Amino acid sequence: MSTSIRPPARARPLRQARFGHVLRMVLALSLYAGLATAQQREGVDVGGNSAFARLVPADQIEQSAGLEYSKLLQQAESKNALAPADNPQLQRLRAMARNIIPHAMAWNQRAKGWKWEVNLIGSNQVNAFCMPGGKIVFYTGILNNLKLTDDEAAMVMGHEIAHALREHARERMGKNAATGMGANLLSQILGLGQVGQTVTHYGAQLLTLQFSREDESEADLVGMELAARAGYDPRAGVTLWQKMSAANKGAPPQWLSTHPSGKTRIAEIQATLPRVMPLYERAPKPGKAVQRP
């Protein structure tokens, strides 16, 4: 027979009540953020960023991402896997980013101050990501194995940039912090201050975070809009996912390990096309001097 130490009978309900109140506060803040940003706009509408993201400081998340990014590039360079500046594929990606990034600011004002970087690492991994603060990496595997067109690669880049703009990593960390903080969460929300994490700890989390299916669906839609406004055909999202499904026999590749199925994504993309096609049709096309009407 084992024994355990239990809190006083009246203490546990009190903490539970406080935590319930905390969760209601978070939901209220999230709703307020959504209402504050909800406008009649052309394109997709996914509401405001999660209030959970506000539980951890954005500047430290971005600083941590920068440090982890530098380490990754150093490791790649030590293995002669980091593409040089004159690499045609890297030049292609950087030109794509220059077209897409100007449209990012409407989704997150912090993006104006980000020091955007795009790099290419030689690896068979079918992988790509954008860390908080605009730190982008593509692996050659995703370009070569899937033989991505510019439009398809732009859908991937838009998707990954959307994760950073929507602060999904920061939101995940905020939810982790909320789980650990319990009854103290309310004061942290109201103060919007530190939660006792360090830059090093944030960096470690960045390497292990997994986004939810809702995050991934949201990034698909925002990424489609970003690419469409930059002049890339959003219908390429359909062919991208057809290639993904064929290459992985219906299972998601490494970079999409928690994503919805290909069929689900294709259906969502097709349903959203009427909202983004007008943006694409009006946009100057990459490499062409097309004027907006």
C-alpha 226/C-alpha 162 separation (Å) is: 8
**In the chain, which residue ranges form alpha helices assigned H by DSSP?**
11-37, 58-78, 88-100, 140-144, 150-165, 168-181, 185-191, 199-208, 213-229, 236-248, 262-282
- Ramachandran assignment for 167, one of left (phi > 0), alpha (psi -120 to 50 degrees), beta (any other): left
208 is written with which tokens?
Answer: 């292990």
Pairing of the two strands 128-131 and 117-121? unpaired
Residue type at 171 in one-letter notation: E
Q: Which residues belong to the active site?
A: 160
Burial pattern 98-116, b for ≥16 Cβ within 10 A else e, equals: ebbbebbeebbebbeebeb
CA 146 to chain centre: 22
CA 6 to chain centre: 41
